[in-house]
Structure 1
Amino acid sequence: MPEKKPRLKADDWIRAGLAALVSDGPQALKAEVLARRLNTTKGSFYWHFKDVPEFHQRLLARWEELAIAAISHALSDADDPVQRLYHLGHMAAASQQGEGEDRAETAIRAWAYGYDLASDAVLRVDQRRIELLGETLTALDLTNPDFARIIHSAIVGMSALSATDMTGNKNAMSTLMAAILALRDA
């Protein structure tokens, strides 16, 4: 008797969707394409999601939750705000080397250029990240809001660059954090 496959959960579909988005782009975020990828039927997809737009919404909500949680965690890892900034730099450099959910950001940002739902999610993530960075920088008496935007832009840009050249950014992020911290002592 053949072994029965475990029943897929909505999370399985979302993880598969994020991986498909990274490897094949938004055109891979369709029920039939994902079902083939998971070696199952479209019926399983529709058991968990009313339709493809609902799937997109839930996939983006998952990414948004993970993207904000990652920076929140990095910025709360230490009591000292200097250490928080360095933790953020290390987290950003490490996530750029990851797979699946870690690498989804570049693909989601590309998708956002032509899809309002993705664009809205990216905007919310960017606003929250910049707000969290601003709080840490304010604790260091670096109150110019452009610093938070610069750091966030560097993280996003380095992630996109690493997606194409596969070069790590740990040294670059440490250098950026040191430069910004040097401004506080100037």
Structure 2
Amino acid sequence: MVTESTRLSAQDWAKAALKAIAGGGLAAVAVEPLARTLGVTKGSFYAHYRNRDELITAALTEWARTHGDAGLAHFAAIADPAERLRELLTAVVRSVQPLAPSVHLSLLGDRNDPRVKDVVRQVNRARLDLLTRTYRELGLPPKRAESRARVAYAAILGLSHLAQTDPDAPRAAVLADEAAAIFLP
């Protein structure tokens, strides 16, 4: 049980909700099971949120923050576009773990929920903008840079999907080298 000195924050609840979303979409976000997982009572939840919908909104906001523009800031700050792309692809590929749940892929099952549409659109846009800008800086014309960014991003999502469903997915180091060779102009 959580003691007074280790009281949970609203962000702790949001992060726990994100783990639940990764494992089972929005339907997996339920207060009582989350409370048990966190080792607290439901009262802890109600100290931060009025209801489940507020928690889902907070979790989605946290995911958009950490996986959108703010989450990409480190990569965006890399001056050399080839190095930026290499670092970005390497980080993505290394984060893909066999059979690991994915918030992004799980949210696709709830894509008709307006909250989900908005945050997925926001995260997709941030990622595509960074990739497009990077390809532009590497010398590709605007339309080609945008197309290359979309194909690279689709491959990234595909790698996530394969890793989530295939226990024999290749290891990250092999994929990182392959991704860099394929997606660097």
TM-score range, shorter chain: 0.7 to 0.9
SS in 2 for 1:14: helix
Give the secondary structure class of the aligned counterpart of 2:153: helix
Identity %: 30
Distance verdict in 2 for CA 1:176–1:7, change over 3 Å: closer
What residue is the counterpart of 1:53 in the other structure?
A: 53
Equivalent AA in structure 1 for residue 26 of structure 2: P
Structure 1 residue ranges, 4+ long, deviating more than 4 angstroms after superposition:
none
Secondary structure in 2 aligned to 1:48? coil
- The match for 2:123 is 125
Q: CA deviation at 1:57?
A: 0.8
Other structure's SS at 1:49 match: coil
| Structure 1 residue identity aligned to 2:113 | Y
Give the equivalent residue in structure 2 for 1:108.
107
Pairs aligned (count): 178
Structure 1 SS opposite 2:50:
coil
1:75, distance to aligned residue in structure 2 (A): 3.8
Q: Take 1:90 and 1:3, find their aligned partners in 2: how far apart are those partners? A: 37
Residues 1:3 and 1:116: Cα distance change in structure 2 (over 3 Å): closer
Unpaired segments ≥5 residues, structure 2: none
1-side partners of 2:11 and 2:117: how far apart? 22
The answer to whether the Cα contact below 8 Å between 1:75 and 1:88 also exists between their aligned partners in 2 is no
For the aligned residue pairs, the C-alpha RMSD in angstroms reads: 2.6
Question: Displacement of 1:170 after TM fit?
Answer: 4.2
Q: Secondary structure at the match of 1:111?
A: coil
Q: Which residues in structure 2 correspond to 1:86-101 (within 5 Å)?
A: 86-97=86-97
Deviation at 1:175, TM superposition (A): 2.7
